[in-house]
């Protein structure tokens, strides 16, 4: 799992070609494998054969939803690629 974050004010400022003071970074969107909720619960669009598939997600290379069966052994690695610390907790 790749965890990242986005500061929409930074994004909007840079998009407007203005200067942004990086120490003011304050994320307001958090992503798992490049997706924000509720897209984190959707399978990779290339695995979808439904005519209702979301073609806007085809550029994403990883699924965010983890498919595990009861009693399966799993190695779960998480990498925080963002600037902010992420206090993560697993339910289940």
Q: Could you state, in order of their start, the residue ranges of all structural domains in the chain?
A: 2-80
> Is 62 buried (19+), middle (13-18) or exposed (0-12) by CB count in 10 A?
exposed
Give the model's pLDDT for residue 52: 60
> Average pLDDT per run of 10 along the chain, which is 92 residues long?
91 94 91 82 64 59 75 89 79 63
| Residue 54 pLDDT | 61
pLDDT at 56: 62
Q: Are 83 and 10 in contact (CB under 8 A)?
A: no
In this predicted structure, what is the pLDDT of residue 60? 54
């Amino acid at each position: 799992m790749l965890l990242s974050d986005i500061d929409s004010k930074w994004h909007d400022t840079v998009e407007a070609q203005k200067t942004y003071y990086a120490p003011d970074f304050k994320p307001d969107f958090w992503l798992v494998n490049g997706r924000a909720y509720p897209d984190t619960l959707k399978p990779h669009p290339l695995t979808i054969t439904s005519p209702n598939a979301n073609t806007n997600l085809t550029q994403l290379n990883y699924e965010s939803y983890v498919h595990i069966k009861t009693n399966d052994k799993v190695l779960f690695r998480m990498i925080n690629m963002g600037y902010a610390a992420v206090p993560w907790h697993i339910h289940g």
